[in-house]
Amino acid sequence: MKKIILYLIITFSLSGFSQISFYTLNPEVGYKTKVTMLDSCINANYFKDSALYYKGVVLLKNNKYAEAKKVCASLMIAFPDFLDAHYLKGLIYFSEKSYVSAIDEFSIVIDKNRKHIKALYNRSTAFGLIENYKKAIEDLNDCVSQKPMYSQAYYSRGYWYEFLGHQTEAIKDYENTINIDPKNYDAYFGLAYIYQSQKNKTKACEIIGNAIKSGSQIAEDLKENFCK
């Protein structure tokens, strides 16, 4: 289960959005159509920096790693001062599991813009994956300080607190996650596993019951494991 949850954290980390206008592209639009639209903007020199950036993100999300790298290289050459070029490069390194290099790129962004929440979140995940849990938590502290309703940041911080053995802090973060986003079922599972490890089966079963009430089919399937 922990491996599945970590996969979800990583998947969330790879989300990327344009900093100007291209985040408004309809998510229902297909990959090829998006690339064609962005190529038209690039060729017309219309917000070319953002168009190149978002094209790289689209390619990356569709596992076109070599193409994403080429776009990122073009972006960095054409617009060396465009900060999100480093963010995109960090995402590419992250996708390749080159977490130290990803941290370096995200750090360039954060050093110049401490309010770049996505760079902070992604760097925190990269730190966690190289087992630097304290640094991961520091970045997530900044995330929730700047964005108090950032439910995924609370969840991820709780996850890394678990690795440090700080169950009290993890419980608090999972509870905050659920309060903000009752559909974040992973937070319920995190709580249930902690209470189960503490031999508190009654509380673990209660948490799973709450997940079921919130609509989790997986919680229904896991009920017997927690409520024997």
Is 213 part of any domain?
no
Q: Does residue 32 or residue 104 have the better pLDDT?
A: 104
Query: Cα angle at 188 between 116 and 215, to 5 degrees?
Result: 100
Provide the pLDDT confidence category of residue 3 given band limits of 50, 70 and 90: very low
Q: Residue 21 has what pLDDT?
A: 43
Q: Residue 32 has what pLDDT?
A: 84
User: Is residue 205 scored above 60 in pLDDT?
Assistant: yes
Residue 94 sits in which domain range?
2-14+31-181
Is 62 part of any domain?
yes
Is 216 part of any domain?
no
Residue among 170, 193, 191 at smallest CA distance from 182? 191
Three-class HEC string of the chain = CHHHHHHHHHHHHCCCCCCCCHHHCCCCCCHHHHHHHHHHHHHCCCCHHHHHHHHHHHHHHCCCHHHHHHHHHHHHHHCCCCCHHHHHHHHHHHHCCCHHHHHHHHHHHHHHCCCCHHHHHHHHHHHHHCCCHHHHHHHHHHHHHHCCCCHHHHHHHHHHHHHCCCHHHHHHHHHHHHHHCCCCHHHHHHHHHHHHHCCCHHHHHHHHHHHHHCCCHHHHHHHHHHCC
Q: Does residue 139 or residue 224 have the better pLDDT?
A: 139
User: Is residue 19 scored above 60 in pLDDT?
Assistant: no
Provide the pLDDT confidence category of residue 6 given band limits of 50, 70 and 90: low
Q: How far, in Å, CA of 24 to CA of 76, rounded?
A: 23
Share of the chain above pLDDT 70, in %: 87
Domain tally for the chain?
A: 1
- Average pLDDT for the chain: 89
Residue among 75, 37, 41 at smallest CA distance from 56? 75
* Whether 30 contacts 53, CB under 8 Å: no
Is 227 part of any domain?
no
User: Is residue 199 scored above 70 in pLDDT?
Assistant: yes
* Whether 129 contacts 99, CB under 8 Å: yes
Tell me the CATH number at 94. Answer: 1.25.40.10
* Whether 72 contacts 66, CB under 8 Å: no
Tracing tokens 């969840």 back to the chain, one arrives at 155
Provide the pLDDT confidence category of residue 202 given band limits of 50, 70 and 90: very high
Tracing tokens 């974040």 back to the chain, one arrives at 184
What sign for the dihedral angle of Cα 174, 178, 181, 182?
positive
Is 123 part of any domain?
yes
pLDDT mean over 66-76: 97
Is 87 part of any domain?
yes
Q: Does residue 22 or residue 208 have the better pLDDT?
A: 208
Q: Residue 185 has what pLDDT?
A: 95
Q: How far, in Å, CA of 180 to CA of 174, rounded?
A: 10
Is 201 part of any domain?
no
